[in-house]
A and B are shown apart, each in its own frame.
Chain A
């Protein structure tokens, strides 16, 4: 009996002490709800275009902080999705389109949002100044009655300038993708090459072929690589190259084959990523269209229903 009292006493005491401590801590330590949204807001493009479905960037930031998807911002594009994913440690839900609110009203539907860019057909521009007022990032320059043009670096492809244009001379085009400059070296940097000595032409000696541990034909791959014919290069085994650098070591013409091959890898990778992003953008766009159509259909059916109901009561029409 005294043991039971001891158990109850110890647990009760512990509970009381810890509970009081926690209650005090709870009152002292106010949760800070704003700073997450602040950090998110800083990453958004601040175009206030409302294409995400929220009234502006700050409301969208609040929503993301509360758990909304991070890939709803068309002007920000893939870049913003990536930086939000890093900040919040969340995966962009682009693959699982089912749960993602459709975002972009992309006209060029096969292009990822990142690569879109507005272009003014300058021969048709009447210099009305309306697109300049609409542009949230001041990417359009020009003066009244004079031709306008778009600064490619500033344009986010938000398409806010399309509607105000009275002559429809603005269209969205794809921005040329930037090449990644830094090649990835996996195994070895060849030591016996003198970087100062220039590359000589390939003399087809075949030494690289003999050296390659993956039984590839580096000299052949090199021709494709120089022509940027990556599909052919992959057919001839570019993917199997382990980037060991042995071909560089044996080449009597001092050709940096490895650099060509790792560049090629990056190019292939970028190509594939572009394709995947384009597909994700298309999926988002399709979802958006479907939702719009469904909404329209529902509105129409409701209207019909009302007309049917009205009958001899015209005031319902």
Chain B
């Protein structure tokens, strides 16, 4: 149990996928202009990430390894991720079309979010068990959502700040992201 807790905290903050490993930066910069879409994006990615990572784990260990086809892992994982993203998009379009419109192109782009593939590959690379993979992917997804919410809130606050003209827009966002990343370095050594 303690082991699983460490994996969770490790994926959540210590090795946070966005701010410590710099994966999945596309939605991190692209959808964090406003708080609500950012949180929605975090939740959509959470859904895709956990489902695809666990499915990928099962497929790899039950199908690819016994057949000696483990070199197919990347293409198989990509296909699984793409299918889950399509499912998410359909579900969102029918449940909340407004959100679907706001997220726009970033929703299908979850497919190419390297954090999603990264979690699946890392879980296999570290030969995790099924339970560990589930906890790891939930932690990574929660960390992603956390960072999305934090960064969106920061950027909304920056809208009202007096920013030197040369720094307005993306420059100040990138500077903020860098400082946030520095702050997350403070978690180093917290868990494992």
Contact A6 B69 (CB under 8 A): yes
A22 to B160, CA, bound (A): 44
Q: Does A292 sit within 8 A of B, measured CB to CB?
A: no
Q: Which of B90-98, B132-140, B183-191 is the contact stretch?
A: B90-98
Q: Does A30 sit within 8 A of B, measured CB to CB?
A: yes
Query: Could you tell me which B residues sit within 8 Å of A by CB distance?
Result: 33-34, 37, 59, 63-64, 67-69, 72, 75-76, 79-80, 83, 86-87, 90-91, 93-95, 97-98, 101-102, 160-162
Q: Which of A11-19, A203-211, A278-286 is the contact stretch?
A: A11-19
A18 to B72, CA, bound (A): 17
Contact of B80 among A18, A26, A87 (CB under 8 A): A18
CB distance from B48 to the nearest CB of A (A): 14
Query: Could you tell me which A residues sit within 8 Å of B by CB distance?
Result: 3, 6-7, 10-11, 14-15, 18, 21-22, 25-26, 29-33, 35-36, 39, 65, 86-89, 184, 186
A184 to B159, CA, bound (A): 13
Query: Is the contact region of chain A dominated by helix, strand, or loop, or is it mixed?
Result: helix
Contact A22 B83 (CB under 8 A): yes
Known A-B contacts A10-B64, A22-B83, A32-B94; A89 and B102 likewise in contact (beta carbons under 8 Å): yes
Q: List A contacts of B162 (CB < 8 A).
A: 186
Q: List A contacts of B93 (CB < 8 A).
A: 29, 31-32
Specify which of A26, A30, A31, A33 lies most central, judged by the most chain B CB atoms within 10 Å of its CB: A31
Q: Which residue of A lies closest to B101 (CB)?
A: A36
Contact of A29 among B79, B83, B91 (CB under 8 A): B91
Q: Which residue of A lies closest to B34 (CB)?
A: A89
CB distance from A275 to the nearest CB of B (A): 17
Known A-B contacts A29-B91, A36-B97; A10 and B160 likewise in contact (beta carbons under 8 Å): no
Contact of B98 among A14, A22, A30, A87 (CB under 8 A): A87
